[in-house]
A = this chain, B = another copy of it.
Amino acid sequence: VSPTIYDVAERAGVSIATVSRALNGRSYLRAETRDRVLQAVRDLHFVPNGAARGLSSGSKRVLGLLFIRSSGADEMLELEGESLLFTDSVIRGAELSAYKCGYSLLLSGVDSGDLSPDVSALTGKCDGLIVLDRVVSERRVAPLAKRIPTVLLAGSGRSRSAVTVRVDNAAAVQQLTEHLAVHHGYRRMAFLSGFANSPDSVARLEEFRRAAAEYGATVEDDPLWSSDYTATGAVHALDRRLAAGRPLPDAIACANDQAAIGVMHALQRAGVRVPGDVAVTGFDDIPVGRHVLPPLTTVRQPTQQLGSAAVVALVKLIEDSGQFQREIVLPTRVIIRASCGCDLASPHAYDRPMEADLAT
C-alpha cells in the first residue's frame, strides 16, 4: 500500500538510483532533477522504508536503551513511583541526543528479577546499545560488547570491554563524608547500600569507607546495612537495626534518595529525631527530597546528561570505530539541606526552598 522508490521514480521520470540520491543528498544531482523527485515524493507522501534502508546500508539509525523495569510498580508505595525519575530522565537525555545525532531511541525494559535477559530481540533491531546499571552482570558485558557497540551507563568503570559513562561517585562521597565528619563532627557512621550487584552502590560504599577512615570515623560493618534502593526496603532494614537495640550511628548515608526517605521515616516513627539524633543523607536528588521533613541532604547527578553523554559516546563508537574514550565521568554536586544537621539558613544552604525556585 505504501509507495516505494519505484513509484517515486516513475512519477518523476527518473531511475530509482536518482530518487535515492535526491533523498540522501550524497551525490551530485541537477537541481531541476532533484526538485522533480522531491515533488514526486511529496505528491505520493513517500516515506522510505527504514527496514530496507537498514538492510541495504547496514545502519539502522536506531540505538537501543536497556533499563530495569521496577518490579510490580502497581503494588508499590506511592513514593516508589518517584523512582521513575532517574531512569526516565536518562531516557529523555538520551532521546534528545540521539535525535540530534540522527538516530532514534529504541526502549527495552528488563524485568528486575531476570538474570539472563533476552537481549537479542533488541540487538537485532539497533546499531548499538546503551545498558543501564544492573541490566547485565559485569561478566556478561564482554560477550555482548563484542557483538555490538555497547555503552555501559553507571557501571563501575572496571569493565575493559565496553565504554562506560558514569558519575563521579568518589568525589561526591568524599565531599559528603567530609561534610559529615569534619563540618558536623560525626564519628560513628553507617552506609545503607542499594543492590549488591549495582556498581554505583558498590562504588559509593567503597568510597564512603575510605573517606570515613581518612577522617577517623568508623563505619558500621553489618550485613543488615544493605537493601534494594527502595523506601520500603530501607524501612525494613532500619527496623531490624532498631530492633538490635545497639546505639545508633551518628549519621547514615544512603545509596539513593528513596532509601534515605525510608530511613528517615523508620527513625522518626521510632521516636528518633532526624537530624537531632541521627543525620541522614541520600543520593540522586529526586524532586521530593526538598519537600520531606527535614529536607534531604543529597548528591545531585546530571541525569539527562548521563543519557546524552552515553548516546554521544555510542554514536562515536558506531561511526568512527577508531579511537574513543574508555570512560566518561560526569561531575556531581553535593546539595546541603537539613537532614545532615545543617541549618537551612547557614552558609551551607546552597539549595533554596521552593518559593525561591518559583520566583525565578
- Residue numbers of A with Cβ under 8 A of B are 2, 45, 47-55, 60-62, 69, 73-74, 77-79, 81-82, 84-85, 88-89, 91-92, 95-96, 99, 104-109, 120-126, 143, 147, 231-232, 235, 262, 265, 269, 287-288, 290-292, 304, 354-355, 357-360
- A287–B77 alpha-carbon span in the complex (Å): 11
Q: A358 contacts which chain B residues (CB < 8 A)? A: 77, 79, 231-232, 235, 262, 265
Enumerate the 8 nearest inter-chain pairs by beta-carbon distance, A residue then B residue, closest first.
A51-B54, A291-B291, A50-B125, A88-B88, A50-B124, A51-B55, A47-B120, A105-B107
Q: A122 CA to B126 CA in the complex, in Å?
A: 14
Contact in complex: B60, A51 (CB < 8 Å): yes
Q: Can you give 21 A-B contacts (C-beta < 8 A)?
A: A47-B124, A49-B55, A50-B51, A50-B126, A54-B54, A60-B125, A73-B92, A79-B357, A84-B89, A85-B85, A88-B92, A92-B109, A96-B109, A104-B106, A104-B125, A105-B107, A232-B360, A235-B358, A262-B358, A265-B355, A287-B287
Q: Please give the distance in Å from A353's CB to the nearest CB on chain B.
A: 11
CB-CB under 8 A from A262, the residues of chain B are 358
Q: Is the CB of A81 within 8 A of B357?
A: no
Instruction: Establish whether residues B77 and A360, one from each chain, have CB atoms under 8 Å apart when the complex forms.
Output: yes
How many angstroms between the C-alpha atoms of A143 and B47 in the bound complex? 13
Q: Which of B92, B231, B287 contacts A78 (CB 8 A)?
A: B287
Specify how many copies of this chain sit in the oligomer: 2
Contacts A52-B55, A69-B96, A88-B84 given; does A123 touch B291 at CB 8 Å: no
Known: A69-B92, A262-B358. 7 other contacts (CB 8 A): A47-B147, A48-B124, A50-B54, A54-B54, A73-B92, A107-B107, A269-B359
Given A55-B55, A96-B109, A147-B2, CB of A81 within 8 Å of CB of B48: no
**A359 and B231 alpha carbons, distance in the complex (Å):** 10
A78 and B359 alpha carbons, distance in the complex (Å): 11
* Docked complex Cα distance between A231 and B358 (Å): 8
A262-B358, A265-B358 known; A123+B47 contact, CB < 8 A? yes
CB distance from A350 to the nearest CB of B (A): 13
Report the nearest B residue to A262, measured CB to CB: B358
Docked Cα-Cα span, A123 to B48, in Å, equals 9
